[in-house]
């Protein structure tokens, strides 16, 4: 985003120190270190600072043990007219059996990676990669958002949502 929009500043948060170090190095190598910062932070931390015009969560919400807490923190970070944009796997709107290919891939990754990484938290939502629109809308409502809209971005693998206070 910082490369495409040279007038913006970007803050990135992740729990993994290695990811933050790599992102920081990449920002320095591309000449964006003055506009792009990264920190090792829990996205569900209610004390995250900021008054951001845009908060993004790309291909990560389903991996979070407490997605409602993360969305509540994202909402608290917004400026008055800000919004949150979520990108997550494109799966069917509802469960069907047998599951179509995108859902089967999501279930497979859930069992191998997504769910094991959050099952140590006794309060986990255990969402997994099959984050359906109704589930996301329920999380957003519980976090205090007034509206969830699917964005008209046509992509085979991803679905994009905008959350508004």
What is the tens place of the pLDDT at every residue in 19-40? 999 999 999 999 999 999 999 9
For residues 126 and 107, what is the distance between their CA atoms, to the nearest angstrom? 12
For residues 41 and 49, what is the distance between their CA atoms, to the nearest angstrom? 11
Question: HSE of 148 in the Cβ direction (CA atoms, 13 Å)?
Answer: 21
pLDDT per 10-residue tile (average), the chain, 165 residues: 93 94 96 94 81 93 93 93 94 87 85 86 88 96 96 93 94
25 occurs within a structural domain:
no
37 occurs within a structural domain:
no
Our count of domains for the chain comes to 1
CATH number of the domain encompassing residue 66? 3.40.50.150
* Domain hosting residue 70, numbered range: 42-164
């Amino acid at each position: 985003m910082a490369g495409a929009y040279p007038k913006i500043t970007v803050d990135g948060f992740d729990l993994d120190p290695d990811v933050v170090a790599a992102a920081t190095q990449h920002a320095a190598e591309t000449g964006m270190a003055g506009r792009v910062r990264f920190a090792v932070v829990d996205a569900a931390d209610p004390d995250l600072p900021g008054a951001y015009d845009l908060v993004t969560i790309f291909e990560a919400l389903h991996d979070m043990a407490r997605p409602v807490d993360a969305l509540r923190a994202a909402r608290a970070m917004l400026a008055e007219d800000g919004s949150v944009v979520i990108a997550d796997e494109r799966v069917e709107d509802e469960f069907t059996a047998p599951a179509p290919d995108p859902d089967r891939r999501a279930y497979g990754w859930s069992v191998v990676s997504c769910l094991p990484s959050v099952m140590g938290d006794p309060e986990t939502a255990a969402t997994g990669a099959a984050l359906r629109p109704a589930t996301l809308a329920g999380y957003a409502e519980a976090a205090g958002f007034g509206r969830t809209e699917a964005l008209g971005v046509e992509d085979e693998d991803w679905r994009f949502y905008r959350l508004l206070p």
